[in-house]
């Protein structure tokens, strides 16, 4: 897939994930085969106000490229200013594309007409994208849902409006806002949107396995697939997905040793990125995912939640690894998601 001048080496991307797709995790995902990554959604308002914290969300390492910074907001002028700010960053801090969040279901966001609320106002979608495209030297893309609710599914209309206004790709989470993350994603609607536009369509929603990703590509005709929750604690899912797609090969899931080593490395990258104290806190959820399904993981998770410093957390994980190595050969470790009594 190609978006503007940005070429992706495979069709499998890491989704924008608030609180999860941080720079260290994006690096791990790229190392394991994700063809592109996104920041979590970042406030356009925050950027235009010069908020330090907002700019921190936009920071990335060179090896994460190609990367999209996802903006949220509803005011075309503010969104255009934010796009301009990103385009004017020094080359090494400038993303490869700018994405607009049109799918966030959270009340705080939709009450300000941003996120999924934009789907209720297609003329605002047009104004917003037009003004951003005018202001931007980078490709502008959007991530949408099927519509606000079952009575207002307008994904085809919105996809066309995006294309007409100059967006260079559209990612579709195949649920309405009302569905949030419940039930099954309606992949057939991704196929309908794909038929209606010429810009690349990125499918998203409920891709849990390499087989799902292949099925989404085949059944919808979409150009790429975005994986979110499947990558939690499992950046290797991208490598497995590519192996299946490119070589028809089914790779085994990572063993306990690889998972804990990744947890420790993720932590080290997190310390580099946000410092010792914040890293220990931020890593709690990631560690819980890395150890999910392993023996005694519930107890380790509890200890993780009590650690205050990164060094303590490394010690805990290294000790856990040693215990697992002593107690059982790794080949026998329970694969992720199977027989997990600790979920």
Ligand X SMILES: Cc1cc2nc3c(=O)[nH]c(=O)nc-3n(C[C@H](O)[C@H](O)[C@H](O)COP(=O)(O)O)c2cc1C
Nearest-CB residue for ligand X: 228
Q: CA-based Rg of the chain, rounded to a whole angstrom?
A: 20
Asked whether position 207 contacts ligand X by CB under 6 A, the answer is yes
| From 53-61, 124-132, 155-163, 227-235, span contacting ligand X (CB under 6 A) | 227-235
**Piece of the chain touching ligand X by CB under 6 A; list 3-11, 27-35, 99-107, 134-142:** 99-107
Q: How far is the CB of 318 from ligand X (least distance, A)?
A: 28
70 near ligand X, rule: CB under 6 A: yes
* C-beta of residue 321 within 8 angstroms of C-beta of residue 290: no
Residue 104 annotated among the catalytic residues of the structure: yes
Considering beta carbons, is residue 37 or 41 the nearer one to ligand X?
41
The torsion of the CA quartet 116, 226, 4, 161, rounded to 10 degrees, works out to -30
Task: Mark the segment that binds ligand X (CB under 6 A) among 117-125, 222-230, 241-249, 305-313.
Answer: 222-230
Residues 312-341 that bind ligand X (CB under 6 A): none
Q: Do the bridges between strand 2-3 and strand 6-7 make them parallel or antiparallel, or are there none, so unpaired?
A: antiparallel
Whether 177 has a binding-site annotation, put simply, is no
Residue 124 and residue 105: Cα distance in Å, rounded?
18
Is 186 labelled as part of a ligand binding site?
A: no
Q: How far apart are CA 343 and CA 335, in angstroms?
A: 13
The catalytic position among 58, 104, 113, 222 is: 104
Strand pairing report for 201-204 and 170-176? parallel
DSSP string, 109-143: HHTTT-GGGGGG-HHHHHHHHHHHHHH-SS-EEEE
- Tell which one of 24, 36, 103, 263 touches ligand X (CB under 6 A): 103
Here the tokens at position 78 are: 């503010």
The residues carrying an active-site annotation are 104
Binding site for ligand X (CB under 6 A): 15-20, 40-41, 70, 101, 103-104, 143, 173, 204-207, 227-230
Binding-site residue ranges:
70, 143, 173, 228-229
């Amino acid at each position: 897939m190609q978006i503007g001048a940005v070429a992706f080496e495979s069709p499998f991307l890491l989704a924008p994930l608030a609180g999860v797709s941080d720079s260290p995790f994006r690096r791990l995902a790229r190392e394991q085969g994700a063809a592109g990554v996104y920041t979590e959604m970042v406030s356009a308002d925050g950027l235009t106000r010069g908020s330090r914290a907002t700019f921190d969300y936009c920071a990335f390492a060179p090896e994460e490229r190609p990367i999209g910074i996802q903006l949220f907001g509803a005011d075309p002028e503010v969104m255009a200013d934010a796009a301009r700010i990103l385009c004017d960053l020094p080359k090494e801090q400038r993303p490869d594309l700018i994405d607009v969040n049109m799918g966030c279901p959270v009340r705080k966001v939709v009450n300000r007409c941003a996120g999924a609320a934009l789907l209720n106002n297609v003329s605002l979608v047009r104004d917003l994208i037009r003004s951003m495209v005018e202001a931007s030297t980078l490709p502008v893309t959007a991530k949408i849902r099927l519509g606000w609710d079952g009575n207002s599914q307008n994904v085809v209309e919105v996809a066309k409006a995006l294309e007409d206004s100059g967006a260079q790709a559209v990612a579709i989470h195949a649920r309405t806002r009302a569905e949030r993350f419940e039930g099954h994603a309606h992949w057939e609607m991704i196929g309908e949107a794909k038929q209606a536009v010429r810009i690349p369509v990125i499918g998203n929603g409920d891709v849990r396995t390499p087989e799902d990703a292949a099925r989404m590509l085949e059944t919808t005709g979409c150009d790429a697939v975005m994986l979110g929750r499947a990558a939690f604690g499992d950046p290797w899912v991208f490598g497995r997905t590519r192996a299946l797609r490119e070589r028809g090969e089914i790779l085994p899931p990572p063993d306990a040793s690889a998972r804990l080593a990744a947890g420790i490395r993720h932590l080290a990258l997190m310390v580099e990125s946000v410092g010792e104290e914040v890293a220990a806190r931020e890593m709690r959820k990631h560690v819980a995912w890395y150890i999910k399904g392993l023996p005694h993981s519930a107890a380790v998770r509890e200890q993780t939640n009590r650690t205050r410093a990164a060094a303590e957390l490394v010690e805990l994980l290294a000790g856990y690894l040693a215990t697992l190595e002593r107690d059982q050969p790794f080949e026998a470790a329970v694969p992720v998601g199977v027989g997990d009594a600790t979920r």
